[in-house]
Amino acid sequence: MENFNYYNPVQVLFGKGQIAKIGKLIPEDNKIMLTYGGGSIKRNGVREQVMQALQGRRVVEFGGIEPNPRYETLMKAVETTRQEKIDFLLAVGGGSVIDGTKFIAAAARFRGGDPWEILSREARVDDALPLAAVLTLPATGTEMNSNSVITRESTREKLAFSSRHVFPRFSVLDPETTYSLPRRQVANGVIDAFVHVMEQYYTPGGDPVQDRLAEGILRTLVELGPALVNDPPEYHSRATFTWTATLALNGLIACGVPQDWSTHHIGHELTALRGLDHGVTLAIVLPGVMQATAESRRRKLLQYAGRVWNIDPARPDAGALAIARTEAFFQELGVATRLSDYSIGAETIDLIMERFRERGYAQLGGIDDVNTGNAREILLSRL
């Protein structure tokens, strides 16, 4: 096991009826800005629950945070926090709303110049407005980590930052808030969580207990995924899914093991350039990354085949079969896994490679065997 430093102070309130408790967790005298997205929280009753829990409190609303939250929109929210003298941000929504709110929190107290540099130059975040979250879409894990991914529309860039100052003070995970999600968003959420785990597990390294935790999460998603997407919502499976997506990226399974974020890295370009759903990009890219690394990560690929898919690792085709099963799993969730399914061709691949070159990238996700040398080949294999 490699050395690590683990710290995650997010308080998780999980289950039915937990939204009612949020009033007590935000300091009495704080002026709160409630942030949300396209307004689904108004239709599904979540906003009403939140407002009821905050009755008698000073609350300002900022809606309209986009999927793949835009820098331009978030900077307007930063302006509002200043005009309204906001003390506390409460994000109500999915990964985009929470990620966007993390950026608002950091940018509102950023004194180091242009807040864009938090994303473009990893400018240091020394402070942030306190924030919390009410999660409505299990997928990204942002409700229990310190990461955020933001898109700049004007330059079509999708970039990430991380700071311990943007850990949510608390996050409410009520599985019932997911009942109104469209099928497509549930499928994307399952894929996002699955790929998060793979990026912390499917590497040349690992550790016995960390591998077991990762495999446990993967198996749960494999066993639960199709019913989550195809059946009417039901509390227990939605609860397991909600917590599983959080576990997939709350820092725990990353402890002491190598990581390879190349699937996300490449996927972000497909979203930034062609507007594909985040989950869809991962379903397209992961099988290509697995194929390209099947030799360099052979031991782990066979372990994955055996433990996640019950494929006999002694079979000569065990590795290939495990990759095929992974892709078939995404398809079973209703997600097409080829670039051509989305009318994306070689010219987009050229554009991505050009961007990697411009930014001076060599390896793409943390491990040498996925790099700008084989990224084109990976993407071509996914046409």
- The contact set with its own copies (CB under 8 A) reads 1-18, 175, 207-210, 212-213, 215-217, 219-220, 223-224, 236, 239-240, 243-244, 247, 252, 255-256
**Residue 278 beta carbon to its own copies: minimum distance, rounded to whole angstroms:** 22
In Å, what is the CA distance from 366 to each residue of 47, 332, 358, 383?
Answer: 40, 30, 19, 24
**Residue 244 beta carbon to its own copies: minimum distance, rounded to whole angstroms:** 5
**Residue 44 beta carbon to its own copies: minimum distance, rounded to whole angstroms:** 20
CA-nearest of 109, 86, 90 to 98 is: 90
Please, which residue, 299 or 357, has the CB nearer to its own copies?
A: 299
Asked if 158 and 272 count as a contact pair (C-beta separation under 8 A), the reply is: yes
User: What is the C-alpha to C-alpha distance for residues 145 and 160, in angstroms, rounded to an integer?
Assistant: 13
**Residue 316 beta carbon to its own copies: minimum distance, rounded to whole angstroms:** 24
Give the torsion sign (CA, 370, 376, 377, 378). positive
Please, which residue, 146 or 151, has the CB nearer to its own copies?
A: 146
**Residue 262 beta carbon to its own copies: minimum distance, rounded to whole angstroms:** 25
Please, which residue, 19 or 149, has the CB nearer to its own copies?
A: 19
**Residue 144 beta carbon to its own copies: minimum distance, rounded to whole angstroms:** 9
**Both structure tokens of 245:** 């997506």
Per-residue b/e over 275-303, b at no fewer than 16 CB within 10 Å?
A: ebbbbbbbbbbbbbbbbbbeeebeebbbb
CA-nearest of 251, 47, 53 to 143 is: 251
**Residue 181 beta carbon to its own copies: minimum distance, rounded to whole angstroms:** 18
Please, which residue, 229 or 239, has the CB nearer to its own copies?
A: 239
> CB neighbours (10 Å) of residue 152?
17
Please, which residue, 4 or 121, has the CB nearer to its own copies?
A: 4
Please, which residue, 109 or 307, has the CB nearer to its own copies?
A: 307
Please, which residue, 163 or 337, has the CB nearer to its own copies?
A: 163
Start-to-end C-alpha separation, the chain: 37
